[in-house]
Amino acid sequence: MYKLKKAFTLAEVIFCLIIASILIAITFTTTKPKQYLDQKSIKTKYATVYDALNLATYDLIGKDETNPFIITAEDQATGNTDPYQKLCKGLAAYINTDSVSCKIPALSNNVAYLKHEDIDFTKLTPNLESLTGVKFYISQIIKDNKLPAISRSYYDAGNPNFTLEFFMVYVDLNGTEYQNRPHTIKVDPTGKKMPDVFAFAIIPTGEAIPMGAAEYDNKFFSTRISYIENKAKYYSPYYSYRQAKHMAWGWYSPSAGNIQFRKTISFTYNDYIKEILERNGTQLYDFNKENIYLETYDEELFPKCNPPAGTLLSRFDMCSIVVDTPKFGASH
């Protein structure tokens, strides 16, 4: 005589199918495409690097003994007279490094000025590599000494001896990932793939400022304009770093020239750094030539930065820009 096995009831089967359907639906709605995850990872890494470089640069430039733009008597006595090495060793003290190579710059002039945006950074030896695999490539100090001071576009008769100088730092955010593809600063014209490598300029104000893709793409530098109206402070909608500057400070057309230079306002440096790179016979790169990122004109906001008639105030006094990094959403 056969012994019958206990089976599931129809209600139990239906219940199991419902649970399975719910789990499948949750999986499909919460699992992001790899491309989305890659881009989110890039933005998070970028924010982390931006914060780290700014913190390190601010601290280093705050003291003569660590400031790479100053060679002290003690530096000369110890033979530490290379500004590049001073910066490289200084940054190494702030980054959790897996390897440090500060003997020579990773970037020759041709690469520092990035004549070709297709340069594969995996072919270069990084100066610093973090424990998370992010790689840092540092240039020698770059000085604007090709023209007499009076002929420079940022010349100020009140400060005639000022010469703009800076370092370029290129950061490969996916340094140890995707080894089978080139790691470049090139942006996919379709906007579907972020670059692996991003550029920063280290400037004497004690800041690292974005160059290239992050200037144009508000995913990296979500930037607002701060303005005063009726004695209260207000903030604009979010724009890209580049567009916010242009809207606040009155520059919309490349034919109109650079944003007016202010030695103490780091956000005014970008255009002049590019000009200096071009003056040296090459340029950072011909960015946005496909017009991936378009600037728009806000007719209502633009006049809010106009200074009152009959005053000595400028648009710089009326409006400032506030950068929110995607890592914490904190204002800078």
- Residue 48 structure tokens: 């982390």
Strand blocks (E) in 140-235:
142-143, 165-172, 197-203, 207-211, 222-229, 232-235
Say which residue the tokens 């593809």 belong to. Answer: 181
| Angle between helix 34-61 and helix 83-92 axes, rounded to 10 deg | 120
The DSSP annotation for 81-115 comes to: --HHHHHHHHHHTTS-EEEE--SS-S--HHHHTTS
Q: Flag whether pLDDT at 31 surpasses 50.
A: no
pTM above 0.85, yes or no: no
Domain ranges across the chain? 34-216, 222-324
CA–CA gap between residue 296 and residue 199 (Å, rounded): 25
Taking only the tens place, the pLDDT of each residue in 216-241 is 888 887 889 999 888 889 999 888 88
Confidence grade of residue 55 (pLDDT, cut at 50, 70, 90)? very high
Confidence grade of residue 325 (pLDDT, cut at 50, 70, 90)? low
Taking only the tens place, the pLDDT of each residue in 258-307 is 788 889 899 889 888 988 887 765 545 556 666 667 777 677 888 888 88
Q: Which of 3-12, 90-99, 213-222 has the lowest mean pLDDT?
A: 3-12
Taking only the tens place, the pLDDT of each residue in 57-93 is 999 999 999 999 999 999 899 888 899 999 999 999 9
136 membership: H or E segment, kind and range? strand 135-138
- Strand, helix or coil at 323? strand
